[in-house]
Amino acid sequence: MIAMNFVVGLPKTLGKFDSIWVVVDRLTKSAHFIPVRIDYNAEQLAKVYVKEIVRLHGVPLYIISDYGTQFTSKFWRKLHDQLGTQLTFSTTFHPQTYGQSERTIQVLEDMCD
């Protein structure tokens, strides 16, 4: 089971990245920090996901995320339906369901200060 979220609003890098996609394995607590752009659509994120996560760890059984448009698109849902991954979404007032990624983001932000 993995949790994912984004750190947005960062200064652009030379590669034009302005966000970090945080993907945390809830069992091992290992985290991936993947540079992305805020304007990536679900198809672009899927390519990055396969290259950076599936290639290294295989297809997860469950993914927990917020209701970001990247994660609720028809394409993203269809992709994971075909892969056999169950998508779970946290609620606005219950972010604990993907709290591991939130805590990891907090540590990352503290390191950048």
What residue numbers bound the domain in which 71 lies?
2-112
Q: What is the pLDDT of residue 40?
A: 93
Counted domains in the chain? 1
The CATH number of whichever domain residue 98 belongs to comes to 3.30.420.10
Would you say 22 and 33 are in contact if contact means Cβ atoms under 8 Å apart? yes
* HSE toward the beta carbon, residue 99, CA cutoff 13 A: 5
> Tens of pLDDT along 88-113?
887 665 555 546 566 676 766 666 66
> Tens of pLDDT along 59-90?
999 888 877 888 888 888 898 899 999 888 87
The strand order across the sheet containing 31-36 reads 31-36, 19-25, 2-7, 62-65, 86-89
> Tens of pLDDT along 20-65?
999 988 888 889 999 999 999 888 999 999 999 999 999 999 888 8
> Rounded to two decimals, what is the model's pTM?
0.77
